Amino acid sequence: MSYAIITGASKGIGKAIAEELAARKINLILIARSEPLLQQIATDLTKRYGVLTDIFPIDLALPDAPEQIASWIKEKGYAINILINNAGYGLSGSFERYDAAAHADMMQVNMTTPVALTRLLLSELKSHPKSYVLNIASAAAYQAVPGLTAYAASKSFLVSFSRGLRYELRNSNISVTVVSPGGTDSDFANRAQVSEKAVKAGEKLNMTAEAVAKQAVDAMFAQKTEIITGFVNKLGAFLVWLLPKKLAEKMASGIYSQE
């Protein structure tokens, strides 16, 4: 009996993806920091959809988190054919507002943990007739974003990593998809400490986490390479490509800068 792993499953897009998969009768392993939230979600999904669930509470900023997760999965004997690297967060404001440790923790969650977890579970994923890796990036991946500098760069990394890995695995049973949401009704703005100005600028364009989750899961099972959710976000990425980089960066800074 196979399971899907979802990191960052206690809130926002991760929680919505868990619901989307549970509705499709897919068993779940939910990973995030908060044990009470995970247990509540797991119990609810099992009750409503009849799927098997388990949880593994852990801080994904810990350098050995991927090894702990992989060891626990092996110990439990779980068969994994879907890996969803959803966990991620940003640090809003000037780069020097945060110390090196804060930046390192964010990059660990956004980049190092997804890479390590994918590598550690690759053999398991290859052991099934069909397996999927879904990485959740961000529309911020398509340009430099002053005020979210390291976050945007980390998501650019995730897009590039996903595309490269997909090509490497093109003749295997594993399909890799990367999904880049734009503004979403989630806890991102709170944790990133995004300015009120930026929050208000995005309120009217935000997608629901449920809408993003459905598009993401549909793209994964359709074995698409890369999607940006929502027409406005697709248009924004196109305009960023079209405009001079300095102009795009100036516009982004006007939204996210807290100076």
Query: pLDDT of 38-49, one tens digit each?
Result: 999 999 999 999
Instruction: Output the pLDDT for position 199.
Output: 46
The pLDDT tens digits for 93-120 are: 999 999 999 999 999 999 999 999 999 9
- In single-letter form, the type of residue at position 119 comes to R
Helix (H, G, I), strand (E, B) or coil at 60: coil
| CA-to-CA dists, residue 98 to 101, 150, 196, 249, angstroms | 8, 11, 19, 21
Answer whether 115's CB lies under 8 Å from 161's CB: yes
What is the enclosing helix (H) or strand (E) of 73? helix 65-76
Q: Catalytic residue at 151?
A: yes
Instruction: Output the pLDDT for position 50.
Output: 98
Answer whether 175's CB lies under 8 Å from 166's CB: yes
Helix (H, G, I), strand (E, B) or coil at 170: coil
Mean pLDDT of all residues in 58-66? 98
Catalytic residue among 3, 89, 142, 151: 151
pTM equals 0.86
* Angstrom distance (rounded) from CA 132 to CA 221: 8
Lowest mean pLDDT among 67-81, 157-171, 238-252: 238-252
Instruction: Output the pLDDT for position 175.
Output: 98
* Angstrom distance (rounded) from CA 118 to CA 88: 15
* Angstrom distance (rounded) from CA 141 to CA 144: 8
Instruction: Output the pLDDT for position 198.
Output: 45
- Which domains are present in the chain? 2-256 (3.40.50.720)
Percent of the chain exceeding pLDDT 70 equals 80
